[in-house]
Structure 1
Amino acid sequence: MGVVTPRTATPPKQDRSRATRQKLLESAVACLAARGWSGSTVSVVAEHAGVSRGAAQHHFPTREDLFTAAVEYVAEERSVALRGLRPQGRAEAVAALVDLYTGPLFRAALHLWVAASNEPQLGGRVAELEARVGRETHRMAVELLGADESRPGARETVQGFLDMARGLGLANLLTDDQGRRERVVAEWAGIVDRALG
């Protein structure tokens, strides 16, 4: 009978590496949302993730590498959040879409936009990913709102609503005025419902 080697509880190296990379990306997003671009260094992200700076630099040799990957991560997470929405009715759809623009993923995306405007290494990638997320957001909004874009003004109504939601997300950076936001969302739910029939 052969010798039976006990299984170790330690995950394989490749799994640990993937987990470390995931922690770093999640931490980069959290740091961006909380501290902005200037406060989100590789050291800060590594500390937040609970890994050494060396481990962080193994996965992402430069700050630009880390945050370019974070751009892709944020775009994918925002897409996942969009696809996960299951509102019942237009009013709930309006509120759910606004929530996407006032949450931490959008806050991190805003900081990436600002950083991209000053960092050429990020600019092109952020613009490309935001265009993709923007198209997907519009497509999902059309679906969730039950909009018939063949009707005159329907496309503009959906886009105007999304622009308003983005504006609420921007305002939310400075103050969390939930009461005001709820009133605006309720009003927009009525506008969207009347405009889309």
Structure 2
Amino acid sequence: MRARLMEATVELLVERGFAGTSTTSVSERAGVSRGAQLHHFPTKNDLVVAAVEHLTEVRGAELAAAAERGLPRGARRTRAVLELLADHFTSPVFTAALELWVAARTDETLREAVAPLEQRVGRQTHRMTVELLGVDESRTGVRELVQATLDLVRGLGLADTITDDARRRKRVLDRWAVTLQEALA
């Protein structure tokens, strides 16, 4: 039942946003009684905080699974890593997480739950990107280039939430792959 509630919460965050997600709509979507949902999660924030934790696990697992599918070697690897990251930051899971970030901006209780989890996800994503690119962060500027890359793909993911930005995203990533490859060489 908990898994159904988490999945329903994430789906509704993507479809309706934080403001449009209610405990009633979650219990209906999950196919559980309102009483059962309230027993596990008495308030919307309790439910959303649990969903934040669930999202953290899902986001990490999705990125790791995509990385395990294999990447090309050589110069094409950088572009493939960028594509993997762009797919991650344009996924429904990212959209749901974004809804939580925005809601947490003005809700202190939610922010206290979201901030540490997002820091952990950020560190994990950074570490995985370093590994996927096969770079040495002890070299001057490499850490900043990796972080700039993550900021870039996160921003592209944000733009994608408003409109389908796939064509522009492809051009930006193609150019950044060349720039990044040269800078890391």
What's the TM-score once normalised by structure 2's chain length?
0.92
Structure 2 CA distance for aligned equivalents of residues 144 and 81 of structure 1: 15
2:128 to 136, 140, 143: 140
Deviation at 1:52, TM superposition (A): 2.0
More divergent stretch after superposition (28-37 vs 184-193):
184-193
Is the counterpart of residue 154 in structure 1 residue 142 in structure 2?
A: yes
Residue-by-residue CA offset, 1:8-53 (whole Å, 9 max, x unaligned): xxxxxxxxxxxx1101001111111111110000111111112222
Structure 1 CA distance for aligned equivalents of residues 8 and 150 of structure 2: 28
Is the counterpart of residue 60 in structure 1 residue 41 in structure 2?
A: yes
Residue-by-residue CA offset, 1:120-175 (whole Å, 9 max, x unaligned): 21111100000000000000000011111121111111100100011011101110
> Unmatched 5+ residue regions in structure 2?
none
1:107 to 95, 114, 120: 95
**Contact kept in structure 2, 1:138 and 1:159, CA below 8 Å:** yes
**Matching residue's letter, 2:116:** E
Is the counterpart of residue 77 in structure 1 residue 83 in structure 2?
A: no
Equivalent position of 2:163 in the other structure? 175
Structure 2 CA distance for aligned equivalents of residues 83 and 173 of structure 1: 23
Structure 2 CA distance for aligned equivalents of residues 132 and 51 of structure 1: 31
> Unmatched 5+ residue regions in structure 1?
1-19
Is the counterpart of residue 131 in structure 1 residue 104 in structure 2?
A: no
Deviation at 1:82, TM superposition (A): 2.1
Corresponding pairs, count: 178
Is the counterpart of residue 189 in structure 1 residue 152 in structure 2?
A: no
Equivalent position of 1:92 in the other structure? 80
Bigger radius of gyration among the two: 1
The percentage of counterpart residues that share the same residue type is: 51
What's the TM-score once normalised by structure 1's chain length?
0.87
Q: Secondary structure at the match of 1:174?
A: coil
Residue-by-residue CA offset, 1:87-128 (whole Å, 9 max, x unaligned): 332211110011111111110110000111121211111000
Structure 2 CA distance for aligned equivalents of residues 182 and 55 of structure 1: 45
| CA-based RMSD | 1.1
Equivalent position of 1:26 in the other structure? 7
Equivalent position of 1:46 in the other structure? 27
Structure 1 residue ranges (4+ consecutive) displaced by more than 3 angstroms after TM superposition: none
